[in-house]
Amino acid sequence: MGTLTGVLPLPAFESKAAGRTRVDYQNTPEGAIVKRAQAGDEVAFQMIVERYQAKVFSIIHGIVRHRNDVEDIAQQVFAKVYFSIRNFDFRSSLITWIYKITVNECYDYLRKKKVRKLVYESDLSEDEVRRVENTEPAGERNTRVDNNLARRDYVLKLLAKLSEEERLLMMLKEVEGHSVEELAGMTGMNENTIKVKLFRARQRLVKAAQRLERAPGLVAG
Amino acid sequence: MHQVVVDGLEEFLARTASPELRQQIEGHLKVCATCRAEVSEMQGIAEMLTVLRPQSQWDVAPGFYSRVRNLIEEQTPAPLWAAFLDPAFFRRTAFACLMILALLGGFVISSDTDYGYGVPGPETMIAIEQNTPFQPDNPVPDQEMMLVTLTSYTQ
Ligand SMILES: [Zn+2]
């Protein structure tokens, strides 16, 4: 859990640099709830779970796509939130912090489950898989599933080559569709820092993609 | 990648660049193959990442919070003192004590049987010493015995 305590470290010089004013998350209504949860208030923790459970489920579903495991991963995410909430230091918004825990948890899951076979079951429950198998011609089905799943597999492999922070920023930017300005507000970093970090992450992704094209085995996720 | 592209890259990729910035970057990309290739790859990857977007709103099954609580309880390490409150701990400790007592008792009894005739008195000790054959006229076997003993000791 040590990596979670220093989510998005902010070098000292950055606070003076140009960019938007940092949001003081401690003095927001949500900050008050977090402080109560940090002091062991169960009701406050329940409020946090209920506020963000739908969001966490949809993040996990976006990454993992295996319906049966989404709830298990979400439970694990909130258990981690519970055990490490005392380390949350208000540098970023709570949802940014939870987002990072969620993405890390998904990657843990993918590592454990050797994703390749699992994603083939994709969105569908076992009953649905059986139904599709009986109705859709195998050729069409395989092409549709292959395209989507190959893309997902490929993207997850590329993202695995980034640091946790870069992965978080890239996902917030390209998957969640946040602007650089919003990212600055969510993470407590200034816009220039966000741009530099995104640029490095994009370069790293390009390199990983080139390596993957040359030698598919080398960028195994 | 050249600075003119780097500076406006995020706006360019997000299609939020001002017309002037856009023209500036596109003008450079027309003449610089290196930047053109890299920007094109970055655009492709950004597009690819959208595959991770959630497709539908997720309905969380009722009772999720209580399931999270259960998991938390499972994962909470039990405090050390809690072991002392556990009845099983008492049973095990009592059993262990009884076993030690039984072992010690068994040892004492079996050691006692070796001295079935009682603790030897001084006269018995003298009798045992006197029984040891003493051969002052032939000290060689004794010396050999001593050498053997010493050699085997050092080994
Ligand atoms: Zn250039």
Task: Answer yes or no: is the ipTM higher than 0.90.
Answer: no
Would you state the pLDDT for residue A201? 97
pLDDT top residue among A114 and B104: B104
3-state helix, strand, coil in chain A (%, to 5): 75, 0, 25
DSSP B55-68: -S---PPTTHHHHH
Reply yes or no on whether the pLDDT at A10 is more than 60: no
Q: What pLDDT band is residue A120 in, cutting at 50, 70 and 90?
A: very low
Are A23 and A184 in contact by the 8 Å Cβ rule? The answer is no
Are A71 and B57 within 8 A, CB to CB?
Answer: no
Helix (H, G, I), strand (E, B) or coil at A194: helix
pLDDT top residue among A154 and B77: A154
Question: Strand (E) positions, chain A?
Answer: none
How many pairs of residues across A and B have Cβ atoms under 8 Å apart? 95
Reply yes or no on whether the pLDDT at A221 is more than 50: no
Reply yes or no on whether the pLDDT at B102 is more than 70: yes
What would the two tokens of residue B147 be? 């050498």
Chain A hits for B6, CB-CB cut-off 8 Å, are: 199
Q: Does A184 touch chain B (CB under 8 A)?
A: no
**For A63-68, what is the mean pLDDT?**
84
What would the two tokens of residue A91 be? 């540098």
Angle between helices B33-49 and B3-13 (to 10 degrees): 30
Which of B51, B55, B65 is the best residue to mutate to test the A interface, defined by the most A CB atoms within 10 Å of its own CB?
A: B51
Would you state the pLDDT for residue B117? 53
Query: Nearest Cα to A185, choosing from A172, A170, A197?
Result: A172
Are B68 and A71 within 8 A, CB to CB?
Answer: no
Residue A219 Cα to ligand 1 midpoint, Å, equals: 28
Would you state the pLDDT for residue B82? 67
Residue B36 Cα to ligand 1 midpoint, Å, equals: 7
H or E stretch at A138: helix A138-159
Q: What pLDDT band is residue A112 in, cutting at 50, 70 and 90?
A: confident
Domain ranges within chain B, ordered by starting residue: 3-52, 122-152
Residue B9 Cα to ligand 1 midpoint, Å, equals: 12
Query: Nearest Cα to B42, choosing from B1, B78, B4, B77?
Result: B1
Chain B, residues 36-75, CB within 8 A of chain A, namely: 38, 41-42, 45-46, 48-55, 57-58, 60-61, 64-65, 67-68, 71-72, 75
CA distance A82 to chain B (A): 8
Q: What pLDDT band is residue B139 in, cutting at 50, 70 and 90?
A: low
Which of A115, A151, A153, A206 is the best residue to mutate to test the B interface, defined by the most B CB atoms within 10 Å of its own CB?
A: A206
**For A67-78, what is the mean pLDDT?**
93
Q: CA geometry: angle at B67 spanning B63 and B73, to 5°?
A: 145
What would the two tokens of residue A53 be? 């459970």
Would you state the pLDDT for residue A55? 93
Q: What is the pLDDT of residues B21-37, one digit of tens each?
A: 999 999 999 999 999 99
pLDDT top residue among B85 and B39: B39
Are B75 and A151 within 8 A, CB to CB?
Answer: no
Q: Does A205 touch chain B (CB under 8 A)?
A: yes
Q: What is the mean pLDDT of chain A?
A: 80
**For A7-18, what is the mean pLDDT?**
36
pLDDT top residue among A135 and B25: B25
Q: Which of A89-98, A154-163, B44-53, B109-118 has the lowest mean pLDDT?
A: B109-118
Query: Nearest Cα to A28, choosing from A119, A97, A90?
Result: A90
Q: What pLDDT band is residue A18 in, cutting at 50, 70 and 90?
A: very low
Cβ–Cβ contacts within 10 Å for residue B132, how many? 6
Would you state the pLDDT for residue B83? 66
Q: What pLDDT band is residue B101 in, cutting at 50, 70 and 90?
A: confident
Which of A71, A175, A180 has its CB closest to that of B52?
A175
Are B19 and A116 in contact by the 8 Å Cβ rule? The answer is no
pLDDT top residue among A154 and B106: A154
Are B63 and A220 in contact by the 8 Å Cβ rule? The answer is no
Are A31 and A25 in contact by the 8 Å Cβ rule? The answer is yes
Query: Nearest Cα to A175, choosing from A93, A118, A122, A103?
Result: A103
Are A123 and B53 within 8 A, CB to CB?
Answer: no
Q: Which of A1-10, A28-37, B12-21 has the lowest mean pLDDT?
A: A1-10
Q: Does B140 touch chain A (CB under 8 A)?
A: no
